[in-house]
Each structure stands twice: as C-alpha cells, then as structure tokens.
A and B are shown apart, each in its own frame.
Chain A
Amino acid sequence: MSPMARTAPVPAATDPAIIRNFCIIAHIDHGKSTLADRMLQYTGVVQSRDMKAQYLDRMDIERERGITIKSQAVRMPWELDGVSYALNMIDTPGHVDFTYEVSRSLAACEGAVLLVDAAQGIEAQTLANLYLAMENDLTIIPVLNKIDLPAAQPEKYAAELASLIGGDPEDVLLVSGKTGVGVEALLDKIVRDLPAPVGDPDAPARAMIFDSVYDTYRGVVTYVRVVDGMLHPRERIQMMSTKASHELLEIGVSSPEPTPSKGLGVGEVGYLITGVKDVRQSKVGDTVTNLAKPAAESLSGYADPKPMVFSGLYPLDGTDYPVLRDALDKLKLNDAALIYEPETSAALGFGFRVGFLGLLHLEIVRERLEREFNLDLISTAPNVVYEVTLEDKNVVTVTNPSEFPSGKINEVREPMVAATILAPNEFVGAIMELCQGRRGVMRGMDYLSEDRVELRYWMPLAEIVFDFFDLLKSKTRGYASLDWKADGEQVADLVKVDILLQGEQVDAFSAITHKDKAYAYGVMMTGKLRELIPRQQFEVPIQAAIGSRIIARESIRAIRKDVLAKCYGGDITRKRKLLEKQKEGKKRMKMVGRVEVPQEAFIAALTTDESKDKAKK
C-alpha cells in the first residue's frame, strides 16, 4: 500500500504540529530537481502522467541549465503512523550569486535536506549554504543521491558528511531521485526528525517574504512563511520595510498549481496576490503584516540586494535600443536585484550599464534578454565597483572603466571577497598558483577528508569576475568547486588601460587592472584585435595605453586586393547581390574613427574562449 496520505490537511486550519517546512541544499547537478519531482509524484500532488522533468523549474533556461533561479514552495501531504502531515518543500536557488535569496528561503524552514551526489561529494557552494542553514539553526538531514550510479562511493562520502555535520555515517540516507529508491524513507524521516514550526497564533500577523515572482496574468506572486498570527483573503496587508499597503486579492498554497485557501496560519507556507506589478513592491526578506492590526516589530534579516558586478549591454542593432529598454523594464518586474541606467558608448552606441549580483546572474539576464525578447546583444567585460579618492579628497564611485578619473588620484579601493575552494589535494599546487596570480592572500587550508582540501583566500573580486572559475575548473580537471562572499575592500595600485584604434580610444575595451597586469592586458587585447579586425584600405595601428603612455602596439596591414576579377553578363546579378549583402554588412559595422569594426570582432574581443564555454559548464 502506498503511504500517500488519504486525506490532506486543509490550509488555514492546519495545526502547526503537523507541518514540516524544509528545503533541499544541493550543488548544481547533484539532482535536487529530480528528487523534488519524485517527491511530488510519491506524495500524489502531481500525477505520474503529468510529470514534466524538473517540474518546479519553470523557466526554460532553468530547465536547460539545470539551475534553479527562482525558488518556489510546494505543499505535499504525507502520512506516517496514521497521521496526515503537511510538508512544505521550499525550493532554493543553488548559486552563490543568490546567497541572500538562499538565506531567506532557509529562514522559512525548520530543516534542510543536505543532498550530495554520491559520486562527487560535497561542493564549496553546498558547504556555504549548509553553513547558512546551520546558522539559521536548521535541522539537517544528510542524504546521498544518485546511488544508482556505478561511480557512486556512498561509504566515502557518508563519512565525509558525518564528519562535517557530526553524527554517524550510518545515519546518512541513500537515495536515487532517478529510480525513486529511498525517497519514501526520506519523506518519513522529514516528518520524524524535523521540528514543527512554532509561533503565536494570537499575535498580530507576521509573515516573511522569501520569494516574489512576476506573472504576466496575475501580477506579482509573493511567497511567504507565516510566523505569527494569520493572513486572510480580502484584508489589507502592509509591507513593513516600505509601509506600503495592499489588498490581499488572493491567498493560497501551491500543490504545485496555485490553490486559493481561506488563509494561512502559523507555520504555513503559501502565496499572496495583491495586484502589484513590480517585485520591488514585494521585497524578499520583508515582513508582511495586517494593516488594521500591525505587528510592532518586523522579522529580522531583511537587506537590500547589492549589485557586485557591472557590465554594459548594447543591442547589436542600434534600432533595438527601445526594445532593450522595455525588456529590462519587464525583467526588473521579476528580478529585484537587477539595476540599470542608460549609457552611451562611442563604439557600441546606446545601451545600459547593468548591475548584477554576480556572473551567473549576468549570464542569465543576458540570455533571457536574447531569448525572450529576441535581442542580439554585446556585453562589455564585467567589472566591479571602484572607489576612487582624488587628491582633493573627493570620492568617485566608478562602475564603468571609461569613467575612471584621469586627473590626480590619491587612492583606489577595490572590493574583496573571501573565497573558499574545495578540491582533491593533488590540485593544491595548481590552485595556489592560480590564486596567487590573481592577487589572492591565503587565509587558511584544511583537510575535509584524507584527500579533499578546503583552501581559503582573500582576493579582489575583480580577479574572479571574468574567467577565474573557468581556469580553476580547467586546472583541476573540473574537480574544484568555488564559493565566495563579499569581504571588505582594499587599496590597490590600479590603473586604467585604454585601447586605441588608429589613435581613437575604444571605450568598450578600456579596463581597470592592477599595474602589474596592465602590460599583459594591453598585449592580449591588441593581439586579439589584430586577429579580429579585418584589414582595411589603410594600415591600422592598435595601441594599448595608460594615460598617454603607450604600453603595447600591434598593427593591421592594409588590404591590397578587394575586387572580383571577372564580371561579365552572367555575373552581374550575382555580383550586385553580393554587393548589396556587403552593404548590409557594412551597416552592422561600428565605425571607430575611419576603421570599420565588425560587431563580431567586438563580441569576440569581449569574450574569453573560456567564458564562451561557460554556458555549458
């Protein structure tokens, strides 16, 4: 007989004692979505025939990349020892760019399933999220997934998990999301081991927002965990950080399709719809209360998202600028962390300087713009935010290298990160070399197990935003994992390197680098452009310069022949069509002074070979 619950507890009338709120902490690829799908199926909330692989990841990009970007909560019934329980599974983003969102999702739970691939072991990002879960006092259920794989080493990694969180290796559950082995045991264990939520049902309502999602038809859908009191449909609610009030048009739970309810009580997880159109009016971490009977104090832990990485985004076709603007406006509705302002580049035309939480966030936004809005974009090399103090003590915040002050500079401060790298010990030498080359300062090194090492570095963020992760992967044959978080700033000897084509500065290629690396950047970029820019009817010098000092130079030889030798009666139509095509191509050229630069050259110059492959990692 299936342990599927015969009757499901009714929302708004569920005793907190039979509620279990949990999330799954896992690294990308470790099978979280597959396991979640299996739980949906075993608890009966999704019929097997409706099963779409990775049901919870709604966006195409998520499904393709296997990354959960936006979290969601699903209510599932489960019966144990004759009692029907309500299990709320809160799906969390797995990536370091979304640490804040992860921490809010964790705050909505009492427990976490720590899911680790039995063939790969724990990864740095999982450790970081596990750390956050333990800080939130969550009960941890260690689970090894993919035990059906031939390469699985359950004993080894069970020992690793046990040594990390304490406890016995025998307590580590072995499951396979793919075959379903161990999933029922896991559901039972969630009921048995996780504490029930605790709150005051009679206190003024307080619910924490752990996610908000923009839906074309319904406006913003806000996901909350009720801590105290109760929320009801049609009442007016208030956002405690902004004091904004809204009417609660609908309230309910996802199971997994949205199902309206008579309300949400202590410990329950569900969604709210107020008709607002912008996720900024429903901020993750904020507290929802009742306008008529407001709580005195908001729940702790709210913070505004802060962009760490900036990049210029430009439409390939200048006439697409309004489309890009509208697209960003739309994405913003669903992405509270996305900020942008118009920017003009002499080389790239009109575009936007966009701030992101991290590189993955950048890639996802860019990909969504291209895919959902049919835009072809150029993005400039990502850069961090610099604080430049001038001699007159004025401080300038630089988010775009071309805005780097040219006058006398007192000091430049750059953001730093604390980076944690986990890898097999055979790669320690290669990792240390890489980190030192990136101006990293070692903060410590520990053995997690006999052959797995954790290295901790203090590094400039600028050194990891571009290609660090790819290099780390390639130097460790893919075994290393990386986690980082912002950790202060430092004064550094930084300079702006400009690239000049025939004496004309190309703003899109300006970069802020450490003084010791300026030459290497200059040589690399001039060399790359020499390969990428087609020969012109005149010689084109390409220079790299710091201020007026030239540090590297290449040149493109003039083209000598550009004529079709034969053009007779039967060739004319074809030749004219070729000419028309070339003229169209010319429209896609950007002019830098007299030099025609194909957009492909800009794109290629702004992309590293490694980062081209990044989408596939």
Chain B
Amino acid sequence: MPSVLPLGDPAPSDGLLPPQALDGAADRAFGLYVHIPFCAVRCGYCDFNTYTATELGGGASQDAYASTAISEVEFAAGVLEQSGLPARKLRTVFFGGGTPTLLPAEDLARILRAATDQWGIEPGAEVTTEANPDSVTPESLQLLADAGFTRVSFGMQSAVPHVLKVLDRTHTPSRVPLVVQWARDAGLDVSLDLIYGTPGESLEDWRFSLETALSYSPDHISAYALIVEDGTKLAAQIRRGEVPGIDDDDHAAKYELADQMISDAGLHWYEVSNWSATADQACRHNLAYWRGDDWWGIGPGAHSHVGGVRWWNVKHPTAYAGRLASGVSPAAGRETLDAETRGVERIMLEARLASGLAVSSLSASGKHAVAGLIADGLVAPADAFRGRLVLTLKGRLLADAVVRRILPD
C-alpha cells in the first residue's frame, strides 16, 4: 500500500457506514487485511507504510502491536454490526506489510484468532501471510499452519545478488529453497514474489531469477515491474544518476519472458502480474479486491472497502494506536463512490483479470471500442465473440491504455 494517503471526505469518528454500504452485502464475500507496519530494514524502492524502529510509543511498539490490531478487529465488528450489515464469515485473510513475520508467529496467530472469534471463518478459507525468507523458521511456519494459515508468500524478488543489493534486500538467495521446503513441510501453499526491471538487471539476470524461482515449483508467482515511487531512496538515486533509470521497453521484454517461462512451467496467468498452478491456488484475497468484494483493513494506513464506501486509516502507528485506545475510529478519510465511479473501478480492475469483463456491461462508446482493440491485437477475439473482454499478452502490457479506451467518454 502506498504511503501517501488519498484525499477524501472526513470519516466519522464512530466509523459507522452509510446505508449504501448495505446494498447487496449478503452477496459479497467478506475478507480481512491485516497490515503489519514493521520491517528490519527499509528497502530502497519501498514506499509502503512501514517502520524499522522497534520501539514506537503509545501502543504502537512491535510488542504491543498485536493487541492494538485486535482492538481494531473488535471495533470493526462493532461498526459492521451497528451499521446493519449482515453477519458474514471471513472468506479470506491476508497479513501484509511491512514484514508480518517480523512479529512472533504467536502474535499473528492471536490476531487471526481474534478475527475468527468475531466473525467466524468459512470452511476452506484462504489465510495468507507475506514473509521475508530471513524471518521464518520451520517452527514459526508450523505454528502459523497450526493456527489456521494456509498460504505463505515469500518476498524472493530476485535470485541475483547485485539486483538484490540495488533493492536493499538483505536475504541470501540460497535461503529461499530452504524456506519453501519448510513451508511445504508445514502444509502451506507457497507463492513467490519477484520483481523485474530493477536498474542494472539484464534480461539474462531476469531469466536466471525466473528459472531459479520455477525450480522450486511454487504454487503461485507474482511478478511485478519495479515501480519507482516518488520520495523513495531509489528515486533519489536515479535522480542523482547513481543508478540507471527504468525503461518501459525493458519492462515489456521482461514481462513477455516471464509470461512465457511461467506458462511453460505449467502456471496460468489470472491477473496481469499473477500466475497460479491451479485455479484454486489463485490468491482469492487479491481476487476479492479486483472483484469489488468487501474487506476490512486492520492497521495504520490500511484501506477498507464495504459496498462502495472506502476508507483509510491514519498512517502513523502511534496516532493509530491512540485513536483506538480512546475508542475513536482510526480512519483518516473516506470516499463514498457513486454508481458511475464504481463502474469505472469495476472496468479498471476486472480488465486486469483473465476472467475479463462482460462486454455487455460497457457503455455504448466502450462497446464500440472493442472492435478496434481486437484489430490492434489487445483483446482476445474468441473471448470477445462470447461476450467477454479478455486481454491478450500485448493487451496486458497495455492494460491501462485499453481501460482508457473502453471507459465511457
């Protein structure tokens, strides 16, 4: 999650939701995101809301964090109930960061337990945590599995030491196969996160990273082009000319290579930057974001969405903990989307998915644009004939341009 919060409307201090949020709620899945705002080191490219200090004051320290997060879980359950939302069990839970595994596994387990105590959890629910290869042990992974976690997503990023160095990643590449094996031994599904297009990374470096990652037979791979965010150390290094800038053509070539190698290894793309071995192993929590389901985001800076109402918490862990301690909603701002804006978001998000979006849901001008997109090789013709707009490989690389062409004028 980017560290700069959007501008929105003021959020009420009781956190209560407007009636709009109730419409159709029973048909939408409900998930929980838990943000862990701590890292051992801040990576040079990262602009997420995360802190390396071990002692933040006022209930925001790493030791106190689980209790603070649990207090938001309780607050959330109260708000949803008082706002009149139907009781829904959790379908997905996702612990992200930061580095969730920097907290003791028992803390993560406690937060999960508090959430399931509040809402219950559906059978076969997906519970993921992100993890740094350096911060897990066979024991901690086993503890998580026992607590109900089903999936772990390792931040591998690259298998090439000089690339990891530019990214400020501290783990040693040789540790990755070990932690993958431990996770499997604990019964967890494994996803590997990769980053391509880092300054100084050659196409061969990237090929090596892909080969290495695939050799561990992950159930799921996320591969992201490096985004240089304003205000990061990496952005400053590029501005000063210390490292080369990024090149979209290079990104395109690397994306094409990734798609080919990952597909050859038997995984299938289901979202622009995500591939899974089976349809069941697609990250259902992330799919919920792209399909407009409901989720509550726990933690400083976390975003939530319930029925077209979206809000985001205050950024700093101390301020966040202070709000909760005094019984006030930690939301910093929120927006209530109108039907038109929800339509824009739906197109923007569903276009990224292999399942695509229904051509019939587009505006007249959007429908009109489809033929041109087929002619330009951006949309798969066979799916379009069946009424679905699904991007081709070339179209995935130009997804934002495609979206601009199919949005209402």
Interface residues of A (CB under 8 A from B): 537-538, 559-577, 579-580, 582-583, 586
Does B297 contact A560, Cβ atoms closer than 8 Å?
A: no
- Interface residues as binary, B251-285 with A (CB distance below 8 Å gives 1, 0 otherwise): 11101000000000000000011000000000000
On chain B, the residues within 8 Å of A564 by CB distance are 227, 400
Stretch of B55-63, B177-185, B211-219, B342-350 that contacts chain A:
B342-350
Does B289 contact A561, Cβ atoms closer than 8 Å?
A: no
On chain B, the residues within 8 Å of A583 by CB distance are 404, 407
Closest B residue, CB atoms, query A563? B399
On chain A, the residues within 8 Å of B65 by CB distance are none
Q: Shortest distance in angstroms between A414's beta carbon and chain B's nearest beta carbon?
A: 45
> Could you jot down 28 A-B contacts, CB within 8 Å?
A537-B378, A559-B398, A560-B252, A561-B251, A561-B252, A562-B398, A563-B396, A563-B399, A564-B400, A566-B273, A568-B286, A569-B1, A569-B33, A569-B289, A569-B297, A569-B303, A570-B2, A570-B301, A570-B303, A571-B2, A572-B303, A573-B303, A573-B310, A573-B335, A574-B6, A579-B404, A582-B400, A583-B407
Q: Shortest distance in angstroms between B254's beta carbon and chain A's nearest beta carbon?
A: 10
Closest A residue, CB atoms, query B3? A570
Does A560 contact B344, Cβ atoms closer than 8 Å?
A: no
On chain A, the residues within 8 Å of B400 by CB distance are 562-564, 579, 582
Q: Shortest distance in angstroms between B127's beta carbon and chain A's nearest beta carbon?
A: 16
A580 CA to B248 CA, complexed, in Å = 22
A400 CA to B302 CA, complexed, in Å = 59
Does B6 contact A569, Cβ atoms closer than 8 Å?
A: no
On chain A, the residues within 8 Å of B295 by CB distance are 569
Given contacts A567-B352, A569-B303, A571-B1, is CB(A576)–CB(B398) below 8 Å?
no
Tell me the count of chain B residues lying within 8 A, CB to CB, of chain A: 46
Given contacts A564-B227, A566-B224, A583-B404, is CB(A572)–CB(B397) below 8 Å?
no
On chain B, the residues within 8 Å of A538 by CB distance are 376
Q: Shortest distance in angstroms between B285's beta carbon and chain A's nearest beta carbon?
A: 9
On chain A, the residues within 8 Å of B255 by CB distance are 561
Does A576 contact B401, Cβ atoms closer than 8 Å?
A: no
> Which of A570, A573, A583, A586 has the most C-beta atoms of chain B within 10 angstroms of its own C-beta?
A570
A56 CA to B21 CA, complexed, in Å = 66
On chain A, the residues within 8 Å of B33 by CB distance are 569
Closest B residue, CB atoms, query A570? B1
Given contacts A561-B397, A561-B398, A567-B349, is CB(A572)–CB(B251) below 8 Å?
no
Q: Shortest distance in angstroms between B129's beta carbon and chain A's nearest beta carbon?
A: 15
Closest A residue, CB atoms, query B254? A561
Closest A residue, CB atoms, query B225? A565
A223 CA to B399 CA, complexed, in Å = 66
A580 CA to B408 CA, complexed, in Å = 11
A580 CA to B33 CA, complexed, in Å = 27
User: Is residue B249 contacting chain A, with contact meaning CB distance below 8 A?
Assistant: yes
On chain B, the residues within 8 Å of A579 by CB distance are 344, 348, 400, 403-404, 407
Q: Shortest distance in angstroms between A248's beta carbon and chain B's nearest beta carbon?
A: 58
Interface residue ranges of B376-409 to A (CB < 8 Å):
376, 378, 396-401, 403-404, 407
Going nearest first, the 7 A-B pairs with the smallest beta carbon separation are A570-B1, A560-B252, A563-B399, A561-B252, A565-B225, A565-B224, A570-B303
User: Is residue B305 contacting chain A, with contact meaning CB distance below 8 A?
Assistant: yes
A577 CA to B252 CA, complexed, in Å = 24
On chain A, the residues within 8 Å of B225 by CB distance are 561, 565
On chain B, the residues within 8 Å of A575 by CB distance are 348
Selected from B310, B312, B397, the residue in CB contact (under 8 A) with A562 is: B397
- Interface residues as binary, B238-256 with A (CB distance below 8 Å gives 1, 0 otherwise): 0000000000110111010
On chain A, the residues within 8 Å of B305 by CB distance are 569, 572
Q: Shortest distance in angstroms between B405's beta carbon and chain A's nearest beta carbon?
A: 9
On chain B, the residues within 8 Å of A574 by CB distance are 2, 4, 6
